[in-house]
């Protein structure tokens, strides 16, 4: 078995070297497919980060009447946190709201002076609520509009933010569904193109396969060198494509960051480069192996 395996690896390597430009063209196609695959991985990272960022920008605020006690507000906060739909709840007291308002308008002395001349704090205590899913804001608002809470609540911002929330939900769904569709389409395209290219490479050896069958070689022995050749294609393509992706990502990262500040491709790559390379290596070797296995079936008449 060891002798047979050694011969299969030897013949596979010899076929890879002997094919010359055909091997180069096959690897070139696989490099393009691998770059598409790596682009899909990074696209999914960008898409998930963008969706998460959009979701974090959505919230509703509950403003309480000035006579509502802090204990009462904190009890409401606790009850909201117990809801399965709620991600987190932030309590903003009237004093904190006033401080934040002054800091925000520090460049407007007239407004600051007007605030100082008031006898009491005009701002109200509030709770800022973020949901796990933007679609849950409607049910959270319905919960807050219960009769037992109306006497202490001044305003809930869901009604005035509803249009914006629904548009953001639509945008999130479009990004998610578009990302899934693009991933499926490009993945299928990469596999089909790679398969057909390797199939052409094996077609050039169809006479050799026929001769091997005539001298009594087993199907596994005939198939083995082509699978080894496919693995070599995948290994070389993975290394080269990864080296190509690095400068491309370095070039694109600043533009992506300026457009989506939450996305830092360079930081993500520096932490996950080994994982990304392993994914790319497995993808390329899988494509080379499966494509070779399927393509050679025709000539084995299985």
> What are the structural domains of the chain?
2-54+170-300 (no CATH), 66-151 (3.30.70.3040)
| CB contact burial 132-165 (16+ within 10 A = b; e otherwise) | eebebbbebbeebeeeebeeebeebbbeebeeeb
| Close Cβ partners of 255 (under 8 Å, ≥ 6 residues apart) | none
Taking alpha carbons only, the member of 8, 20, 125, 137 closest to residue 75 is 125
CB 73 within 8 A of CB 153: no
- Percent of the chain that is helix, strand, coil (3-state, to 5): 75, 5, 15
CB 30 within 8 A of CB 195: no
Walk along the chain (302 residues) and give the pLDDT tens digit of each residue.
677 678 777 777 777 777 677 778 778 888 888 888 888 788 778 777 777 777 777 788 888 888 888 888 888 888 888 888 888 899 988 888 888 777 776 776 766 666 666 667 778 888 888 888 878 888 887 877 765 666 778 888 876 666 766 777 777 678 777 767 876 777 677 677 767 766 776 676 667 777 777 777 777 777 778 788 888 888 898 899 899 988 988 888 888 888 777 778 888 888 888 988 998 898 888 888 887 777 777 666 64
């Amino acid at each position: 078995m060891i002798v047979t395996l050694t011969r299969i690896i030897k013949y596979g390597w010899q076929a890879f070297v002997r094919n010359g430009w055909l091997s180069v063209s096959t690897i070139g196609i696989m490099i393009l497919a691998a770059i598409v695959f790596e682009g899909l991985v990074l696209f999914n990272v960008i898409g998930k980060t963008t969706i998460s960022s959009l979701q974090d920008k959505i919230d509703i605020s509950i403003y309480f009447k000035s006579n509502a006690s802090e204990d009462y507000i904190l009890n409401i906060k606790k009850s909201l946190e117990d809801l399965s739909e709620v991600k987190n709840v932030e309590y903003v007291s009237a004093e904190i709201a006033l401080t934040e308002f002054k800091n925000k308008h520090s460049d407007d002395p007239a407004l600051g002076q007007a605030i100082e001349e008031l006898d009491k704090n005009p701002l109200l205590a509030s709770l800022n609520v973020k949901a796990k899913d933007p679609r849950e804001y409607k049910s959270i608002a319905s919960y807050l509009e219960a009769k037992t809470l109306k006497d202490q609540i001044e305003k809930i911002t869901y009604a005035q933010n509803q249009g914006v929330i629904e548009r953001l939900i639509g945008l999130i769904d479009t990004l998610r569904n578009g990302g899934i569709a693009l991933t499926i389409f490009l993945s299928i395209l990469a596999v089909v193109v790679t398969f057909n290219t390797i199939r052409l490479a094996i077609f050039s050896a169809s006479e050799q396969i026929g001769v091997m069958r005539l001298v009594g070689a087993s199907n596994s022995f005939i198939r083995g060198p082509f699978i080894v050749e496919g693995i070599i294609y995948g290994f070389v393509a993975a290394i080269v494509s990864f080296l190509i992706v690095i400068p491309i990502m370095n070039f694109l990262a600043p533009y992506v960051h300026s457009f989506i500040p939450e996305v830092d491709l360079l930081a993500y790559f520096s932490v996950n480069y080994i994982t990304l390379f392993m994914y790319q290596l497995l993808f390329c070797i899988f494509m080379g192996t499966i494509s070779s296995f399927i393509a050679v079936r025709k000539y084995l008449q299985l």
